[in-house]
């Protein structure tokens, strides 16, 4: 009886030892640096295909970044070459960011000019342009005139020119907007425009920036278009 129990126990011990040895040989010892098992429930994204450009009839790898002018001006135009020159000189230059800032500046300048707010205008304009704007504001004030102005919306803003002279980057932008504008005399009578009708403005402005200066702001250096 005892022999039967001892024999059975011995068989179990041998079987357990064999199972332990098999598991050890298959799994090994964890060192803490093993790579995690791949998660097959999450698909692995494919690497993006590299774009290519034609050169002398052959396909060659191209840079992942598209030309700075693409989507804004036509290829091989003076404006495209100007944008490329600016981007090479100023690594942080981005056309989309510039246009976003130009649109915001356009609305702000129109509103500040209508209100006669010289303080808001000064940091956005070159010295000569500011002098011209300030002179018009002073003349309006001298005649007792006031401007009612509402910026309805910007229909478009497109780059028309770009260039780099020495350290001066210059970009021209054509704005088409809708506004409500009316000029009243000292007695409150409308002498120009309409206080309820929407009219379209078309302006071509040139912005300038010293690419070597610490000041990141562009300033308006030239205007050509409708008067408010």
Residue 113 to residue 134: CA distance in whole angstroms = 8
Can you give the pLDDT at residue 26?
38
Q: How far is CA 107 from CA 104, 154, 186, 194, 215, in A?
A: 5, 8, 26, 19, 21
Read off the pTM.
Answer: 0.70
Full 3-state SS string of 163-208: EEECCEEEEEEEEEEEEEEEEECCCCCEEEECCCCCEEEEEEEEEE
List, for residues 137-173, the tens digit of each pLDDT value.
999 999 999 999 999 999 999 999 999 999 999 999 9
Q: Averaged over 78-84, what is the pLDDT?
A: 97
For residue 42, the model assigns a pLDDT of 29
Nearest to 217 by CA among 128, 94, 124, 92: 124
pLDDT at 40: 24
Domains and CATH numbers, the chain: 78-225 (3.10.450.240)
Cα angle 69-63-77, degrees, rounded to a multiple of 5: 25
In the predicted structure, residue 134 carries a pLDDT above the cut 80: yes
Query: What local confidence, expressed as pLDDT, does residue 64 receive?
Result: 47
Maximum CA pair distance of the chain? 127
Find residue 58's DSSP bridge partners.
55
Model pLDDT, residue 92: 84
């Amino acid at each position: 009886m005892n022999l039967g129990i001892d024999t059975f126990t011995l068989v179990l011990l041998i079987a357990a030892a064999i199972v332990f040895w098999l598991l050890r040989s298959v799994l090994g010892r964890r060192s803490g640096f093993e790579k995690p098992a791949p998660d097959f429930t999450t698909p692995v994204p494919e690497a993006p295909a590299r774009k290519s450009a034609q050169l002398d009839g052959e396909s060659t790898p191209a840079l992942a970044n598209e030309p700075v002018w693409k989507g804004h001006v036509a290829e091989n135009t003076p404006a495209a070459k100007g944008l490329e020159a600016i981007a090479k000189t100023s690594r942080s230059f981005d056309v989309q960011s510039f246009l976003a800032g130009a649109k915001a500046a356009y609305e702000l300048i129109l509103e500040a000019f209508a209100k006669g707010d010289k303080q808001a205008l000064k940091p956005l304009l070159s010295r000569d342009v500011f002098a011209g704007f300030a002179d018009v504001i002073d003349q309006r004030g001298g005649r007792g005139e006031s401007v009612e102005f509402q910026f309805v919306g910007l229909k478009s803003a497109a780059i028309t020119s770009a260039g780099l002279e020495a350290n001066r980057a210059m970009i021209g932008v054509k704005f088409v907007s809708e506004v409500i504008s009316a000029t009243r005399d000292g007695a409150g009578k409308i002498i120009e425009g309409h206080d309820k009708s929407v009219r379209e403005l078309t302006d071509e402005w040139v912005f300038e920036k010293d690419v070597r200066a610490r000041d990141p702001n562009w300033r308006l250096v030239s205007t050509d278009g409708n008067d408010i």
